[in-house]
């Protein structure tokens, strides 16, 4: 097995409230674009997702972006979608990530090409997100391909998935995540949480299903920095729920204060989420506003720069010991 060190795994084991963020690769072969974003995040987050042609728009690859992020001192979470690859390509990219020392992977179905910049592209979807999660666990823990052939060396990344607690039918979403956890997911990043009360009810359901004992939940957060973005989130993005009281609060301040109010609301949301049992951290989505991430996590009092490192004391939680087991002895659609 490749001995890949995942600081995200270690942070989750420690019981510290973790923070992940996102790095969107450029539309071009510009390595400095990744490094500039990583420079803004380094030391403030535990890891950063490198997105995989997000929204079905062509960008520098997640694999390449993850290597650049590591070179810049930020631990990557390499996203991998089923949209553009069959099972041969998916397995090849996962093995490449393992060989190159990428410590974390986030596996999802992916957006259909019709939503992106090549709407006539032929979608693949040979597997879905649940099947891909099972495949990754099988590669890592059993050391075999889907064909049954044995691997010469097994990868050792931490396996993540995504879920949207607010997409209809909402009563199905907790059970759907339970399926992904049964398939092998060790952490989950959720869609934006603007309705904390509804999210708390969803977390209670996860607890009833035993999910939070096996999977670290990172709640999605992000600042709404303009009324245009507010309307886009409310009407243009299926599955995102922005309560009316959030909209009223943002509309109730002068236009030149909306950005500051949105950031303040994001910080308040992080602090409220931190008090919910089973929430292991937050996934801060501030695409295009990476420069604001340090201020948000500093003011919220979270992240590696704001909290003591508990690893030296040996402190652990149920999530950390179960959800992110290394198992070394054994060998925004999700």
DSSP string, 258-280: HHHHHHHHHHHHHHHHHTSTTEE
Whether pLDDT at 117 is above 90:
yes
Whether pLDDT at 327 is above 70:
no
Whether pLDDT at 185 is above 80:
yes
Contact 224, 263 (CB under 8 A): no
Look at residue 64 in the predicted model and tell me its pLDDT. 98
Region of poorest pLDDT, from 257-261, 309-313, 314-318: 314-318
Look at residue 129 in the predicted model and tell me its pLDDT. 96
Count of the separate structural domains present in the chain: 1
**Residue 17 lies in domain:** 7-223+269-326
Whether pLDDT at 329 is above 60:
no
Look at residue 317 in the predicted model and tell me its pLDDT. 36
**In the predicted model, what is the mean pLDDT of residues 41-68?**
97
**In the predicted model, what is the mean pLDDT of residues 251-268?**
97
Look at residue 54 in the predicted model and tell me its pLDDT. 92
Secondary structure element (H or E) that encloses residue 106, with its range: strand 104-108
Whether pLDDT at 163 is above 90:
yes
Q: What are the residues whose beta carbons fall under 8 Å from the beta carbon of 242, sequence distance 6 or more?
A: 194, 195, 224, 230, 233, 234
The alpha-helical segments, DSSP class H, found in the chain are: 7-14, 31-41, 62-71, 87-99, 129-137, 170-183, 196-209, 227-235, 244-251, 258-274, 293-300, 318-323
The answer to whether residue 257 is domain-embedded is: no
Whether pLDDT at 328 is above 70:
no
Stronger pLDDT, 334 or 74, i.e. the higher one: 74
Confidence of residue 308 (pLDDT cuts 50, 70, 90): low
What whole-number distance in Å separates Cα of residue 272 and Cα of residue 40? 25
Mean pLDDT estimate for the chain: 91
CATH number of the CATH domain containing 16: 3.20.20.220
The answer to whether residue 44 is domain-embedded is: yes
The answer to whether residue 95 is domain-embedded is: yes
Stronger pLDDT, 238 or 15, i.e. the higher one: 15
Cα 33 to Cα 27, 39, 173: the distances in Å are 10, 10, 35
Q: Calculate ∠ Cα 116-118-55, nearest 5°.
A: 20
**In the predicted model, what is the mean pLDDT of residues 207-215?**
96
Region of poorest pLDDT, from 166-170, 174-178, 290-294: 166-170
The answer to whether residue 316 is domain-embedded is: yes
Look at residue 139 in the predicted model and tell me its pLDDT. 98
**In the predicted model, what is the mean pLDDT of residues 65-77?**
98
Look at residue 334 in the predicted model and tell me its pLDDT. 66
Q: What are the residues whose beta carbons fall under 8 Å from the beta carbon of 248, sequence distance 6 or more?
A: none
- Please state the pTM of the whole predicted model: 0.91
The answer to whether residue 322 is domain-embedded is: yes
Contact 184, 212 (CB under 8 A): no
Whether pLDDT at 321 is above 70:
no
Whether pLDDT at 314 is above 50:
no
The answer to whether residue 184 is domain-embedded is: yes
CA nearest neighbour of 309 among 12, 4, 3? 12
The answer to whether residue 45 is domain-embedded is: yes
The answer to whether residue 246 is domain-embedded is: no
């Amino acid at each position: 097995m490749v001995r890949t060190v995942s600081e995200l795994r270690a942070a989750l084991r420690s019981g510290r409230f973790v923070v992940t963020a996102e790095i969107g690769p450029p539309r071009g072969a510009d390595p400095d674009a990744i490094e500039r974003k990583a420079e803004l995040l380094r030391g403030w987050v535990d890891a950063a997702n490198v997105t995989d042609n997000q929204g079905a728009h062509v960008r520098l690859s997640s694999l390449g972006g993850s290597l650049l992020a590591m070179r810049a001192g930020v631990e990557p979470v390499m996203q991998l979608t089923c949209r553009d690859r069959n099972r041969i390509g998916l397995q090849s990219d996962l093995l490449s990530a393992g060989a190159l020392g990428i410590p974390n992977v986030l596996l999802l179905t992916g957006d259909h090409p019709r939503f992106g910049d090549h709407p006539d592209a032929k979608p693949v979807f040979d597997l879905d997100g649940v099947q891909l999660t099972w495949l990754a666990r099988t590669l890592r823990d059993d050391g075999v391909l889907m064909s049954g052939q044995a691997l010469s060396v097994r990868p050792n990344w931490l396996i993540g998935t995504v879920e949207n607690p607010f997409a209809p039918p909402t009563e199905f979403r907790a059970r759907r995540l339970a399926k992904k956890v049964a398939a092998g997911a060790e952490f989950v990043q959720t869609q934006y949480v603007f309705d904390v009360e509804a999210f708390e009810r969803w977390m209670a359901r996860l607890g009833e299903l035993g999910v939070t004992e096996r999977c670290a939940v990172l709640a999605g957060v992000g600042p709404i920095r303009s009324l245009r973005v507010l309307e886009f989130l409310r009407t243009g993005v299926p599955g995102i729920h922005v309560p009316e009281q959030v909209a009223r609060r943002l509309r109730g301040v002068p236009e030149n204060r909306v950005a500051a109010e949105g950031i303040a609301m994001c910080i308040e949301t992080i602090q409220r989420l931190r008090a919910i049992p089973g929430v292991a951290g937050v996934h801060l989505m501030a695409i295009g506003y990476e420069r604001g991430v340090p201020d948000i996590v500093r003011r919220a009092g979270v992240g590696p720069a704001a909290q003591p490192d508990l690893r030296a004391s040996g402190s652990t939680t149920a999530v950390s010991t179960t959800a992110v087991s290394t198992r070394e002895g054994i060998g925004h659609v999700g």
